Structure 1
């Protein structure tokens, strides 16, 4: 029998339930929606979660499309799934948990007696530690971003090669291989011996169909490659960036981008220009390095110093 919260499944069964993480302001119990898929045969355990940030919905789009396609009688191993991780932020469609103004993916490994976010992190981290592999499904918030997978443990970590292999298998096409901030699940779980990646499935307001399809394919790649399902996957080479440069605006105004997402950029190329409301160019910003146009803001209006775009740099093929 495999259990996660109130979900419990015998071999060859699937069940859904709730993972208790505390109480809301009205005293009602808060439980995260979870699913357990217990394969008919023995095998590895995969933990997967989505909506760690409350406005990042593409991962949830992946899960709701993936689970109905899985037949536990044809699976070897177990899948532990949390469909909506940042419960409070999801309810109000915000990035951070409004109860404690915290970005949940900075709270791992969490605390069972801590803040609302720390309690969610502790409960989901307990589940993640049971696994052999972890997928933490994200997206580039509501900005515009390429589909990519992040390896966050750092190149000197003992599990770096395992995490990098998992990212290659997932197969978004691009990998950001750069040590992440403290408190990320993809930082904390490798310290417990569990290879973990952070697929960033584009960036959107609501659903993005292309990114959801890519995410579903990525999870199936993992299921085939690691033996959960019968079949073969030959991982394709990925473009890897080990650097990530962010650019802000030197002036207030309206942004015109000179590149599309995924385009190659040379050092000195104009990334964007800032105009006034009448089209007069006020400033031009050029690339400091060669790279890939990785991410940019969604809205055109900017204030001085406000984030505009990012490049993936230090590129190679993995």
Structure 2
């Protein structure tokens, strides 16, 4: 999947090796504000978000940007390699342990690094897959926080659901820190749902346009 982006040398990510053999690849495009942080692959079996992240990296790397976007296409490399929801290294669900722990297990350290990167942004968008087939929707604390509501509706996906606010999720913890943050759920667990991917990618490009980044 996304590995060709840096294997062929066309796009160079920053690489943070959380543990030997566990690199976290971070793509930084543009500079300055507004700054959007986009993440996918928190769960290794959710493929469509990774596909969307890759396609955005390829498109945006060829554009002049007026602002910046940081993209982490595979947040959980061990789970991605094994196509599992939780990490095979420690059994943890990354989406229940943010903001992480730099002295903890591999997944906790990955979460801590991602958290430090994410909270520097003006907006955080976390891509997930709920089922093999699923109409894309936004999950957010949009009723609780007005600044989250603005982001939730600005991305242009018509279905917005209020989250129960389970702690340890990246978007929940970031929202409670005052950063507009949402999840976009789409189809394609263990496979790529191209229809969902195109809809979400185009919505995100429109969102970046609305911010004046592209």
Per the normalisation by structure 2, the TM-score is: 0.88
TM superposition outliers: structure 1 runs of 4+ over 6 Å: none
Taking only aligned residues, the RMSD between alpha carbons, in angstroms, comes to 1.9
The equivalent of 1:184 in structure 2 is 169
Kindly indicate whether residue 22 of structure 2 is the aligned counterpart of residue 30 of structure 1.
yes
Structure 1 residues 217, 124: CA separation in 2 closer, same or farther (over 3 Å shift)? same
For 1:171 and 1:123, the matched residues in 2 are separated by 29
More helix by share: 2
The equivalent of 2:104 in structure 1 is 114
The equivalent of 2:78 in structure 1 is 88
213-222 vs 63-72, greater mean Cα deviation:
63-72
Q: What is the CA-CA distance between 1:110 and the residue it aligns to?
A: 0.5
Pairing partner for 1:21 from 9, 15, 18: 18
Q: Secondary structure at the match of 2:34?
A: strand
Between Structure 1 and Structure 2, how many residues are aligned? 205
The equivalent of 1:46 in structure 2 is 36
The equivalent of 2:136 in structure 1 is 147
Q: Secondary structure at the match of 1:120?
A: helix
Larger Rg: 1
Of structures 1 and 2, the one scoring higher in RCO (CA 8 A, sep 6+) is 2
Per the normalisation by structure 1, the TM-score is: 0.61
For 1:66 and 1:43, the matched residues in 2 are separated by 18
Pairing partner for 1:75 from 59, 65, 68: 65
For 1:207 and 1:73, the matched residues in 2 are separated by 25
* Structure 2: tracts of 5 or more residues without a match: 1-5
* 8 Å Cα contact 1:169/1:221 also seen in 2: no
The equivalent of 2:179 in structure 1 is 194
Q: What is the CA-CA distance between 1:48 and the residue it aligns to?
A: 0.7
Q: What is the CA-CA distance between 1:73 and the residue it aligns to?
A: 6.0
Structure 1 residues 93, 45: CA separation in 2 closer, same or farther (over 3 Å shift)? same
* 8 Å Cα contact 1:133/1:196 also seen in 2: yes
The equivalent of 1:247 in structure 2 is none
Q: What is the CA-CA distance between 1:145 and the residue it aligns to?
A: 2.5
For 2:156 and 2:186, the matched residues in 1 are separated by 11
For 1:171 and 1:17, the matched residues in 2 are separated by 30
* 8 Å Cα contact 2:48/2:186 also seen in 1: yes
Q: Secondary structure at the match of 1:139?
A: strand
Q: What is the CA-CA distance between 1:204 and the residue it aligns to?
A: 3.6
Kindly indicate whether residue 92 of structure 2 is the aligned counterpart of residue 102 of structure 1.
yes
The equivalent of 1:267 in structure 2 is none
Q: Secondary structure at the match of 1:99?
A: coil
Q: Secondary structure at the match of 1:74?
A: coil
Residue by residue over 1:144-198, the C-alpha shift from the partner in whole angstroms, topping out at 9 and shown as x without a partner, is: 32211100x3633xxx222122121222221111232110001111222210000
The equivalent of 2:3 in structure 1 is none
* 8 Å Cα contact 2:132/2:191 also seen in 1: no
Q: Secondary structure at the match of 2:192?
A: coil
- Listed as ranges, the matches of 1:200-279 within 5 Å are 200-229=185-214
Q: Secondary structure at the match of 1:81?
A: strand
More strand by share: 1
